[in-house]
Structure 1
Amino acid sequence: MNTNTLPTDELKKYGIINEDLSFSKKLNADDIQKFLQGYTIVADNDKDRATFQLTDNNTQLKVIFLERDKNLSEILKNSKDKIEYSQIEDVSNQKEAGFSIEKKAFIFDKETEKVVEFDFINNARELTAIIADKKNTEELNRYIAELLKLKSFLQDKIVQFPEMAKEITNDLNIVSKEFNTVAGISEKQNHSQKQEKSDIQLNVNDPDVYQDANRIKEEENQEQDEEIQKSRGFRR
């Protein structure tokens, strides 16, 4: 790894390093080490997001500008009440505007009291497992709707960008797999709820239940008649 040929002008431009070539105080030692090893630095500001990555043996800086559909402050606030969904569009290349869209889910972790961001593609299995574990029909249905939106988007992009069909198809397969998994979970939940409702109705309409109730009522009436007769006999 070569650190002597860093693109210092570009790094200064985006505030990653200072004029004296020291790294920004916003980055800790672990962040810097990972960055020099090819990891991506992410900078968020309301609706805007920028990612920075060193390439070509640390001689080039790859910068991608992204735009959210919602303000980050709004996302973080709303995610404390329910899972918040957002998408980020790559606006770096205007010629291919709308080609790259990342779908995110923001979930509040009660144990750490922090909001965790999950990507629909990179964190697909983990995201599905977390939502399924909540056993919340409303949240499950919302997740299904978001998966359908992303699935439709990817299908359209295969037609619009045939040269990227293989890459897009890989993402589409991931989304389709998660959708099938969640749809299966939803079907089981609906079946279980219908079965419980059916059992309740069966208990209410069960003739044995009515027969037992009528028998008990008749016995109570007979006892009441006997008490009345005894009462009359005593008065005589």
Structure 2
Amino acid sequence: MQNEQLPTEDLKKFGIINEDLSFSKKLNENDIQKFLNGYTIVADNDKNRATFQLVENNTKLKVIFLERDKNLSEILENSKKEIQYSETFSKYDLNDEKNAAQLNWSKTAFIYDKENEKITEFDFIKNRTELTAIIADKKDISETNRYKNELQKLKNFLFDKINQYPEIAKEISKDLNIVSKEIDTVNSISPDEKQISKGENSEVHLNVNDKDLYEDANQIRDEKEEQDEEIEKPRGFRR
């Protein structure tokens, strides 16, 4: 890894490195190594979200600014009462070169682990297996129906975008198929009312996901982003 080729001025601008070229103390050694190997830093502040990723052999910093449909503080507080669903959008529909559609959008669920007092964010596409398992484990008809409704909204959204963004229709179709299969999975494991009446519950243990500071960019995503610019896409459409 050629760290001397890092885009230092841009990294300084967003507080990822300091003036002496050391990395921000908000990032631990593991975070730094992930970032240098293509992982994306994600930072949130209220409705704003920013993602930072090193591309082109670590010589360029790719930055995407997004806006959430609700304030993060509101989502975190309400998640203690019930699962919160949220969407983030970019203000731009084209990439920097203006030659291909880049639909920057994602849908996530915030789930509160009461026992450990932690909140974790799950992406509907990347974390679908774990998210569906958690919903199913609750054995709550009302919660299951809420989740299915959110999945259907996502399916409708993707379907509408296929014709609108023909440049990335193939990628959208892949995610559309994923969501459709997940809806089928949820339907096949929907809880039976008789079982629920027995009061069966399971504790869900989630990983720590600390609240981010937008300015400091102090959260590393667990999913490695592709560096091939031809297929660079936002969270909802990246592999």
The residue type equivalent to 1:102 in the other structure is S
Which of 189, 194, 209 in structure 1 is aligned with 2:192? 189
Please name the residue that 1:61 is paired with: 61
The residue type equivalent to 2:83 in the other structure is I
Unaligned runs of 5+ in 1: 194-236
The residue type equivalent to 1:124 in the other structure is R
TM-score (norm 2): 0.75
Which of 101, 109, 112 in structure 1 is aligned with 2:113? 109
Please list the CA deviations of residues 54-99 of structure 1 after superposition, one character each: whole Å capped at 9, or x if unmatched: 1111101011111100000000001111110000112244689993
Please name the residue that 2:175 is paired with: 171
Please name the residue that 1:217 is paired with: none
Please list the CA deviations of residues 176-212 of structure 1 after superposition, one character each: whole Å capped at 9, or x if unmatched: 01111112333x626x58xxxxxxxxxxxxxxxxxxx
- Name the CA distance, whole Å, in 1 between partners of 2:6 and 2:68: 30
- Name the CA distance, whole Å, in 2 between partners of 1:154 and 1:32: 34
Please name the residue that 2:218 is paired with: none
Q: CA deviation at 1:112?
A: 2.3
Q: Is the 8 A contact 2:92 2:104 kept in 1?
A: no
3-state secondary structure, aligned to 1:61: strand
- Name the CA distance, whole Å, in 2 between partners of 1:168 and 1:151: 10
Q: Is the 8 A contact 2:106 2:123 kept in 1?
A: yes
**How many residues were matched structurally?**
192
- Name the CA distance, whole Å, in 2 between partners of 1:46 and 1:9: 26
Query: Identity of aligned pairs, percent?
Result: 68
Q: Is the 8 A contact 2:93 2:101 kept in 1?
A: yes
- Name the CA distance, whole Å, in 2 between partners of 1:97 and 1:39: 22
After superposing on structure 2, the runs of 4+ consecutive aligned residues of structure 1 that deviate more than 6 Å are: 94-98
3-state secondary structure, aligned to 1:4: helix
More helix by share: 1
User: Structure 1 residue 27 and structure 2 residue 27: aligned?
Assistant: yes
Q: CA deviation at 1:20?
A: 1.3
Please name the residue that 1:78 is paired with: 78
3-state secondary structure, aligned to 2:115: coil
Please list the CA deviations of residues 116-145 of structure 1 after superposition, one character each: whole Å capped at 9, or x if unmatched: 000000001110110011001110010011
The residue type equivalent to 1:182 in the other structure is V
Which of 145, 152, 156 in structure 1 is aligned with 2:149? 145
C-alpha RMSD of the superposition: 2.1
- Name the CA distance, whole Å, in 2 between partners of 1:50 and 1:134: 32
TM-score (norm 1): 0.76
Compare CA radii of gyration and give the structure with the larger one. Answer: 1
Higher relative contact order (CA 8 A, sep 6+): 2
